[in-house]
Structures are given as structure tokens and as C-alpha cells.
Amino acid sequence: MSVAPCERPSSVRSITLEGEDAVPTYVALIDWTEQGVRNFKDTVDRYEAAESAFESIGVRFTDIRWTLGAHDMVTTVEAPDDESLAAALLAVAGQGNIRTTTLRAFTGEEMRTIIGKVA
């Protein structure tokens, strides 16, 4: 079985600048609550409001998709640290429209660093 090398899609950009540390990236799987489903027509407006609020504490959405299947939305987010992201997500989830599952995501370079620590 032959596997083709992965190429970075043109829409994905590197966030590491020379001499600077990478900003941690997270994937948030978002599910509507019953209240969120009742208010589905406001979902884009709620996202835009969250986007503005997140930016004020240094958290930035890099992508959001409304999805079919197990989750209602999938987002990628950059945050300076776990605590800032947790605060942002708790503030939004506290409004009662969503529940989230958050995953720390690693670039290929970050994964090589992790692997290097095992060797």
C-alpha cells in the first residue's frame, strides 16, 4: 500500500514566525443544547458575537464549519494558553446554547518535537 505525502492546504497557514513560539491550536467540537436548537436561526450571529468576545482575551477562531453528523459545528481556534481558551468557551457555553469538547491540536513540527522527547 502506497501513501502519498500530506500537503498543507493553501488555506492553512503557519503561525510560527521566526524567533517566536507557535500559538497553541485547538479543535472545538460544538453541540447545540435544546436551547441552541430552538434558537438555531441565531447561530451565525452568536458565532460573530463570540468571535469578538474571544479576540478581547487573545483567542482567535481560525475556522468554523457548521456540520452534519455527530457534532453541529467544528472550529479551530488559537489561544495563548489553555486557561484563556477555557475562559472563552465557558463564557459562551454559560449562555446555554452549546456544549463543547476541546482537543489540543499539533502541527507536524510540534509532533516531531513531541516524538523527539520520547527518543
3-state secondary structure 48-116: HHHHHHHHCCCCEEEEEEECCCCCCEEEEEECCCHHHHHHHHHHHHCCCCEEEEEEEECCHHHHHHHHH
How many separate domains does the chain show? Answer: 1
pTM: 0.79
State the pLDDT confidence band at 21, using cuts at 50, 70 and 90.
low
Residue 114 is assigned to a structural domain of this protein: yes
Whether residue 3 has pLDDT greater than 60: no
Residue 8 is assigned to a structural domain of this protein: no
Asked if 33 and 96 touch (Cβ cutoff 8 Å), the reply is yes
State the pLDDT confidence band at 100, using cuts at 50, 70 and 90.
very high
Whether residue 75 has pLDDT greater than 80: yes
Q: What H or E segment, with its residue span, contains residue 43?
A: helix 43-55
Residue 20 is assigned to a structural domain of this protein: no
| Domain CATH number, residue 108 | 3.30.70.920
State the pLDDT confidence band at 50, using cuts at 50, 70 and 90.
very high
Residue 5 is assigned to a structural domain of this protein: no
The whole domain housing 74 covers: 25-118
